[in-house]
């Protein structure tokens, strides 16, 4: 079983790069199931029904979200869709589901989404307590999208849950880390990285962000229009043990 996980799609450049590469990546790596984090897909924050359909149309099997899950009001029109998984532990809404079960080949795959607590707003309970529900749920394979800011929190989370989950994949920072590995049969990376404007400040317009840091100016954090990088990982899962045997990092720069 091979699973592709694509990191945070940022706005139109991210959607474009996904459309450009997804089908060929699925073919090249013989992918059985594709998860896409799309919490920044609509103008840099949130998701709309139109963009949800677009990303599913490109070939995603399930979309995960993050701290901006409810940034666009239209999300409530699709939040109960069986292909959307929102964070288990955001206090802003309890609509939709924090994990969902999928049948792929002869296996059941549970896909979850949890927010880290460090430097993040509206998160309660913390990801460790919030994920106990996911531990107790029944499935052959369990994949958690760990949407968090701090690497220490993410690494600690992985060691706490490595025997329970098949993969723990970090999202949110938009910067791909090079620490992918298998720990006791659990595939891990601190951050998959974003699929969004490459020459940018984590997806945002460079000059605008600098004017905020240097000139203390009020900004809207406009999304950069530059060409996008695509960041993803491919996970291989042993058919007999249901444990991860390999994780491969992918980064396609413009």
**What DSSP designation does 227 have?**
P
Residue 27 burial class via C-beta count within 10 angstroms: exposed 0-12, middle 13-18, buried 19 and up: exposed
Q: How far apart are CA 139 and CA 141, in angstroms?
A: 6
* Residue 127 contacts Fe ion per CB under 5 A: no
Determine the interface stretch with Fe ion among 28-36, 66-74, 123-131, 231-239 (rule: CB under 5 A). Answer: 66-74
Q: How far apart are CA 205 and CA 97, in angstroms?
A: 33
The smaller minimum CB distance to Fe ion, of residues 31 and 123, is found at 123
Find the shortest distance in angstroms from Cβ 177 to Fe ion: 15
The smaller minimum CB distance to Fe ion, of residues 26 and 224, is found at 224
Number of residues that bind Fe ion (CB under 5 A): 3
Half-sphere exposure of 113 (CA within 13 A, CB side): 29
* Residue 15 contacts Fe ion per CB under 5 A: no
The smaller minimum CB distance to Fe ion, of residues 84 and 141, is found at 84
Q: Which residues neighbour 222 within 8 Å (Cβ) at sequence distance 6 or greater?
A: 44, 204, 205, 208
Find the shortest distance in angstroms from Cβ 86 to Fe ion: 12
* Residue 34 contacts Fe ion per CB under 5 A: no
Q: Enumerate residues 145-174 that contact Fe ion by CB under 5 A.
A: 172
Q: Give the three-class secondary structure for 213.
A: helix
Find the shortest distance in angstroms from Cβ 37 to Fe ion: 8
Which has the closest alpha carbon to 131: 150, 113, 117, 119? 113
- Told to judge if 29 belongs to the known catalytic residues of this protein, a careful annotator would answer no
Q: Given candidates 13, 14, 46, 66, which one binds Fe ion under the rule CB under 5 A?
A: 66
Please tell me which residue in 21, 68, 147, 174 is annotated as part of the active site: 68
The smaller minimum CB distance to Fe ion, of residues 147 and 162, is found at 147
* Residue 67 contacts Fe ion per CB under 5 A: yes
Which has the closest alpha carbon to 218: 227, 229, 209, 226? 209
Query: Locate tokens 């695509």: which residue?
Result: 230
Where is 212: in which H helix or E strand? helix 206-215
Q: Which residues are near Fe ion by CB under 5 A?
A: 66-67, 172
Return the active site residues.
68
């Amino acid at each position: 079983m091979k699973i592709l996980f694509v990191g945070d799609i940022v706005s139109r450049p991210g959607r474009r790069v996904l459309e450009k590469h997804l089908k060929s990546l699925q073919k090249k790596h013989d992918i059985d199931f594709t998860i896409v984090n799309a919490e920044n897909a609509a103008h840099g924050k949130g998701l709309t029904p139109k963009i949800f359909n677009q990303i599913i149309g490109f070939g995603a099997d399930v979309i995960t979200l993050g701290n901006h899950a409810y940034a666009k009001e239209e999300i409530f029109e699709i939040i109960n869709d069986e292909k959307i998984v929102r964070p288990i532990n955001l206090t802003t809404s309890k609509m939709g589901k924090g994990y969902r079960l999928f049948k792929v080949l002869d296996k059941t795959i549970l896909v979850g989404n949890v927010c880290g607590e460090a430097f993040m707003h509206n998160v309660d309970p913390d990801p460790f307590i919030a994920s106990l529900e996911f531990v107790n749920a029944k499935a052959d394979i369990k994949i958690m999208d760990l949407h968090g800011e701090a690497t220490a929190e993410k690494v600690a989370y992985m060691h706490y849950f490595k025997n329970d989950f098949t993969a723990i994949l970090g999202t949110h920072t938009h910067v791909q880390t090079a620490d992918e590995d298998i720990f006791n049969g659990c595939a891990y990376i601190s951050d998959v990285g974003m699929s969004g404007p490459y020459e940018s400040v984590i997806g945002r317009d460079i000059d605008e962000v600098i004017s905020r840091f240097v000139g203390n100016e009020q900004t809207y954090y406009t999304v950069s229009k530059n060409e996008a990088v695509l960041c993803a990982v491919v996970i291989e899962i042993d058919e007999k043990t249901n444990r991860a045997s390999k994780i491969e990092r992918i980064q396609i720069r413009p």
